[in-house]
Structures are given as structure tokens and as C-alpha cells.
Amino acid sequence: MTEHQIHVATTTPRLTACGITLQELEPRMLRLDVSDRWDTVTCRQCLQTTLTFEELVLSRDFRNLRAMPERLRKEGLQVRWKAATANGDGNTLTQIVAFYAAVYGGQKMSETGSDDHDNGKPNIFDYATKELSQDAMICWLIRWSEERADTDEERALKSLGQDFVSAMLSKHDRSLSGEIETVKIHQQDHGIDVLTCVRDENGKQYVLLIEDKTGTRDHSDQLLRYCEAVRSGKTELGKVSSCWPIYLKTGSHSLHHAREIESKTSSGDQPGYKVFDRKDFLSVLNPYRGNCPLVRQFRSRLRKLEDEFDGWHSWKLEERESWSWESWEGFYWALENYFSQCSKREAPWLLDWGYVPNPRGGFLGLWWFPFGWDDNYTLYLQLEVVPNEPSKQVLCFKVEAGEDNRTAAEYHELIQPAAERQGVSFERPRMRTGATMTVGRWPGDWLVFNVDGHLDLLQTAGTLWQAHRILEVARETDVAP
């Protein structure tokens, strides 16, 4: 067995768990098939210090295209033709695949092109941005699933409604046994955004409990309360044998938050919430070929949000002050996706991101706990970014205090020698002792750019790997007082 074959054999089970499958087409030629939010790529794997994408096989309009980077940039997809691996010991298949997934995750070509990107005309959903407006759209689409369809447009809307219901049920591995015949819809029943019961032509009944979010998160124990209300028969539907909860969110969210939603709401044989996000919604809306302005404008609004989220792909150093909040969220998602797939633990590293409020206006933070929690103290990394202000975009070394009662200065002295061993001139911040403490900052810019001024995601990830190693060495050498 060759070294290359060993990498494939040992890596495939971990990748399969992430929705990625590998097939060795010929020696040193792999085919990567990832989940439906990603395209398919055929790439040559060099297992040295560089990765060269010899060929990209993209979906739909770009299928089987033997493309050069310039052509792909012209078509709107950013490509890094060559990219170094994350670090000296990182030339494994896992990190290469993780890099691919992070860079191309979500960069799926539209099935319908840009025919409804508004063309500068007003879009009602640019103003109707509240969750109640989205609730109405959800109910309207579901209602169409049972409507009689006499015209081509009505048939397109009915098909769209049924596809929407089917897509939500598929999150729970359930499917309709025929066309939908009847629908019952209730709004704000016991605080539930949308509660619907659909019955197909074969008499099978499905209850969907939909918690609808745009940019906010769930709070307190609302999700569990809603499930209990439905399952105990307190709602207008009365007693039901089963219900299938959906957490529908069109705003951006972290992978960690999605996993948390799904894990914390399941109990025994009772299914928990399944996340139905913006990409899922677009996968339903994209095939629609009708001319209903309401559908086309709603789809256009979601595409616009997705384009902003993916805006980091075209970042250039000279335009740094114009990078939007939404594109920073997309960049954080790519980093989270990359590091989650690189984790050697059975469970992914705890890495999350979101808005952090403070008296100065807050920042968009990403926090990475590579070692979990410890009773004595917990070391972690935190990115703090104020978009449009490059001087306020820093990589911090943090400590969450535990039982050892050391001061911030003492923690700084713990980490500083580890940084010096890694050749990093550790910056000493103004420190205050408390529950959480910033005990060091990465010197200079932690973002890395190519010679053409574009962001280099993999080299930037390498910076974070180096910061991770500093914390790792500090823990290994620490002797608590």
C-alpha cells in the first residue's frame, strides 16, 4: 500500500462523517463528493508542500469545465490555484480536503443565473425584514402545496409549496407518500411561529413545528417549551402522535450553534429540532421557474444575503476598510468549517462566533477552545473584529480563570516563553485580572495575503495553528503554583 493510499484509507471514515466521500480514480487522482451545498471537484493531491488544483468540475452551467483561475474569477468564483498547506506537518489529506471545503463551501452556482437580482428595482423584502414577514412567506408557501392548480403559474407555485414541505420533512428523514391534499396552519399558537399539519393523498399526516429566525438566536428554553406544548395536546391541533420540529433561520449562524440546537432539543425517542438554513431554503427556491414577483423577490433577497456572506472570497488588502460585517461572518464560518474538519478529537473543537456587545459598540468575535475547559484555568484564542476598522481586528490569547487564582500578569508570563519558542514576539496588552482575561496579542496582522493582495485563507489558518501551538506548549510546560 502506498503512502497516498494509506492517507485515503485512514481519512475516509472521518470525512464521511462530515458528508464528504472520496474515490480514488487513479494513483494520485481523487474525486471529492461533498454535501449538496458544495460543488464536486476533481483534484490532484501532491502530499508535499503545495496543493495544485489541476481540474475543477463544477455543477450545472460549469460542469466539466477545464478552467483557468482567470476564467473562474470572471464568472464570479474566487480560486486560489496554488496554496500551501497549513503547517509543516499538515500535508495530510484531511487538511487538504478541509481547505477545499472551507474555500468552496457554499460557493454553488445558481441554477437560474441572476435573472431576479432586482436589477436596481425595489424589493419588498429589503423592507419587510422582520420575522413576522418571513412567517407570512412560510405560511403562504405551505398553503400553496394544497391549492388546486389550473395554470402553469399555479402549478409552479403548488410544486414549490410541496417541495418546501418535503425539504423540511427530509431533515427528519421523512417523506411524503403522495401529493399534499389538506393543510392546517396556525400562527403564534402558544408562541409557536408556524405550526402546520399536512395530510397527503394516502392519508399520512405530518405535523411540522417551525421556529422562524432571521438574525436572532433562540433564548431561554423556548424551543423545548414549544415541543412540549404540541406533544401534550395544548395547541389548536390537539393531541398529536408525533411532530417534527424545524429551526428555520435565514440569517447567518455558526456550525456550532446549529449542532447545539439539534443536540440539546432531542430527548429519547422524541426528535429534536433540525436546522433549515438559508442554503436549504435557496435549494428549494432556485429551481422555481415561475414569474410570481413575491417568490422571485424573496429568493432575490436570500441570494443577496448569501452573496454578502460569501463576499470574503473577493477580499483584497487595499479594500480592507470596506469589508462588510456579513462577509466577516462568512469568513468566520469558513474558518470554523476548516478547523472543525481538522479536529483530531472524536467531537469537533469548541469553536463559535457571533456578536459580542460592550460599551464601545461591541465586535464580531470568534472564540476557539482547543483544549476544552479545566477547573484550574482555560486557555483559548479569540478574534475580535470591528469591520471597517483594521486597527481593531486582533487575535487575542485569553484565559478563563478557574481555581488557581493567578493574576493576568502571571498568565502572561506563562504564555510568553511559549510564544518566544515559536519565534513570535508576543505583545503584552493592558491587563486586568478578572473572570476572563486578555493576556497577550498576536504581533501585527494575523491575516495573510497573496502577492496579488487577495486573502490567503490557508496561510491565515496557519497563523491560527501557530497561535494554537503556543497555547499547547504553555499548557505542557506549566507548573501551577
Give the DSSP letter string of 42-73.
EEE---SSEEE------SGGGTT----HHHHH
Instruction: Give the Cα separation of 3 and 26 in Å (integer).
Output: 14
DSSP-assigned letters across all residues of 290-306:
---HHHHHHHHHHHHHH
Mean pLDDT of the chain: 77
Q: Which residue has the higher pLDDT, 327 or 434?
A: 327
Instruction: Give the Cα separation of 204 and 119 in Å (integer).
Output: 43
What is the average pLDDT across 299-315? 93
Residue 279 sits at φ, ψ, to 5 deg, of -65, -40
Residues 185/235, Cβ–Cβ less than 8 Å: no
Instruction: Give the Cα separation of 196 and 243 in Å (integer).
Output: 10
Residues 108/39, Cβ–Cβ less than 8 Å: yes
Query: What percent of the chain shows pLDDT beyond 90?
Result: 50
Give the side-chain half-sphere CA count within 13 A for 313: 21
Instruction: Give the Cα separation of 397 and 384 in Å (integer).
Output: 11
Q: Which residue has the higher pLDDT, 48 or 369?
A: 369
> Whose CA is closest to 299, among 287, 315, 314?
287
The region of weakest confidence among 286-295, 309-318, 343-352 is 343-352
Say what the pLDDT of residue 112 is: 39
Say what the pLDDT of residue 349 is: 66
Instruction: Give the Cα separation of 331 and 84 in Å (integer).
Output: 19
The region of weakest confidence among 92-106, 115-129, 279-293, 343-357 is 92-106
DSSP-assigned letters across all residues of 68-116:
-HHHHHHTT----SEEE-SSTT--SHHHHHHHHHHHHTT-PPPSSTTTT
Instruction: Give the Cα separation of 82 and 121 in Å (integer).
Output: 40
What is the average pLDDT across 242-261? 93
Query: What percent of the chain shows pLDDT beyond 70?
Result: 73
Say what the pLDDT of residue 358 is: 87
What is the average pLDDT across 145-152? 93
Cite the DSSP H helix spans in 254-362: 255-264, 278-285, 293-309, 325-342
Q: Which residue has the higher pLDDT, 336 or 50?
A: 336
Which cell numbers hold the place of 343?
479536529
Instruction: Give the Cα separation of 278 and 281 in Å (integer).
Output: 5
SS3 417: helix
Model confidence band, residue 479 (pLDDT cutoffs 50, 70, 90): low
Say what the pLDDT of residue 49 is: 24
Say what the pLDDT of residue 360 is: 87
Give the side-chain half-sphere CA count within 13 A for 454: 15
Residue 415 sits at φ, ψ, to 5 deg, of -85, -30
**Residue 60 reports pLDDT greater than 50:** no
Domain assignments of the chain as residue spans, ordered by start? 3-104, 118-307, 329-477
Residue type, 50: T
What is the average pLDDT across 472-478? 87
Q: Which residue has the higher pLDDT, 108 or 470?
A: 470
> Whose CA is closest to 352, among 340, 343, 362, 361?
340
Distances (CA, A) of 57 to 54, 145, 386, 416, 478: 10, 35, 37, 46, 49
What is the average pLDDT across 291-297? 95
Say what the pLDDT of residue 328 is: 97
Which cell numbers hold the place of 199?
395530510
118-141 pLDDT, tens digit each: 677 899 999 999 999 999 999 999
Say what the pLDDT of residue 299 is: 96
What is the average pLDDT across 156-179? 94
Say what the pLDDT of residue 61 is: 30
What is the average pLDDT across 300-312? 94
62-90 pLDDT, tens digit each: 222 233 333 333 333 333 322 323 333 33
Enumerate residues 6+ apart whose C-beta is below 8 A from 388: 321, 322, 323
Model confidence band, residue 378 (pLDDT cutoffs 50, 70, 90): confident
CB count, 10 Å around CB of 241?
7
326-366 pLDDT, tens digit each: 999 999 999 998 887 776 554 456 889 999 998 888 999 99
**Residue 43 reports pLDDT greater than 80:** no
Instruction: Give the Cα separation of 443 and 434 in Å (integer).
Output: 23
Residues 309/107, Cβ–Cβ less than 8 Å: no
Say what the pLDDT of residue 216 is: 83
